[in-house]
Amino acid sequence: MSYLEDNLLPLVLSIKPKKTSSHILEALGMEDKVSPQSILITFGERIERFWNKVISDSSAINLIEDNDRITVGNRERQIDHLFAVDSKTYYLESKCNLTFDSEKVRASNDKIGDIVEVLGKNVESAYFVPVVSKVSDKEVNKYAKKGVSVVGVNWLLNKIDAPFSEEEYFDFLREVVSPILEEKGL
């Protein structure tokens, strides 16, 4: 079996879709529909977990392998990815969708800034989009105006020595993961 079959496939297979909770669907007599949003949210969590395993299995040092929490002020915050490679430290917030409302953008950007402040100025931070090879220039520029970098899979694979190629990863998503998620109701 391949690394992707051993490590990503079980995470995808463990996704259990939820029924949609909607008064609209109830009124239409469609209350038994599966929520595609629940599948996407769960997939986002699973892909984040997968990439942390990839980082741990590479020569990079996964700095949150045992604990993904950090105290910011009087609050404990969860960190998606924090690793060191070639004497550089990287902090990444995993986002499968960069199109969220302005309040959420502000809160997410502030979270990155607050965590970097605690980690120290020598940390390179960014949003990591684990479902695109390279983030579009439009999105990169949009977030750059807010002082936040955005990177895709290609960027991360150039930082770590993953046991699969970018092509293998995206082929696996299309050929293996996609049909499973469709079967689950996506």
* pLDDT tens digits for range 86-107: 889 999 999 988 876 556 667 7
Helix (H, G, I), strand (E, B) or coil at 22: coil
Q: Does domain 60-161 have CATH number 3.40.1350.10?
A: yes
Beta bridge partners of 78: 69
CATH 3.40.1350.10 maps onto the chain at 60-161
Pair of tokens at residue 38: 């629940």
Q: Distance between CA atoms of 16 and 144, rounded to whole angstroms? A: 36
The fraction of the chain above a pLDDT of 70, given in percent, is 96
Beta bridge partners of 48: none
CA nearest to 127, candidates 78, 160, 94: 94
Instruction: Indicate if the pLDDT at residue 166 is higher than 80.
Output: yes
Instruction: Indicate if the pLDDT at residue 12 is higher than 80.
Output: yes
Please give the model's pTM, rounded to 2 decimal places: 0.88
Which is higher by pLDDT, 131 or 110? 131
Looking at residue 135, its amino acid is V
